[in-house]
Amino acid sequence: MIQAIIFDLDNTLLDFIKMKQFAVKAAITAMNEAGLNVDEEKAYQEILDLYVHKGWENQQVFDDYLNQTIGAVSNKILAAGIVAYRRAREATLLVYPNVNKTLIELTKMGIKLAVVSDAPSREAWMRLYYLNLHHVFDPVLTYDDTGVRKPSPKPFQMALDYMKLKPEEAAHDW
């Protein structure tokens, strides 16, 4: 009998890609308004390429983009981009439809809920707190906790060990 479900966070409970796309576009517009003066569609593609090559959680992507584009980091332009990115991220960071209802029902059924994510710990927890899901999952295991990325079995085994369950007593979402 299933006693637990182990979820991924990004693109399972929330639309990470949509949030990232919207936030990057907002950042580019703000950086242009602060004096950058680049083609927004080209900049968007170049920043997405940086994310693909350096990781979707890269916290220095705008620094890297400015260095690549204008040869230096302008703190005025960088600040405009970061603030716009954060505002847009918060505006579009939403759970998929029926996620809250489903999690409540699973909890009522006595099913334990866990998260295994490739995101850095701070970022995963920030998303969970922002979405008010921080109290729903125990444990929350991230790359920082496990040192490996999915599909490695290690994070899943760590979640099972934490919940004191056997593999056949849990399901995962991917």
Q: What CATH code is carried by the domain that includes residue 26?
A: 1.10.150.520
Are residues 11 and 29 located together in one domain of the fold?
A: no
* Span 49-81, pLDDT tens digits: 999 999 999 999 999 999 999 999 999 999 999
Are residues 26 and 63 located together in one domain of the fold?
A: yes
**Whether 54 contacts 64, CB under 8 Å:** yes
Q: Between the CA atoms of 147, 150, 151 and 156, what dihedral angle is there, to the nearest 10 degrees?
A: 70
* Span 139-170, pLDDT tens digits: 999 999 999 998 999 999 999 999 999 999 99
Q: What is the mean pLDDT of residues 22-31?
A: 98
The residue segments making up the domain with residue 60 are: 16-92
Number of structural domains, the chain? 2
CA-to-CA dists, residue 114 to 48, 82, 109, 120, 172, angstroms: 30, 31, 15, 16, 9
List Cβ neighbours of 55 (8 Å cut-off, separation of 6 or more). none
Among 44, 63, 92, identify where a domain stops: 92
Mean pLDDT of the chain: 96
The pLDDT, as a whole number, for residue 173 is 75
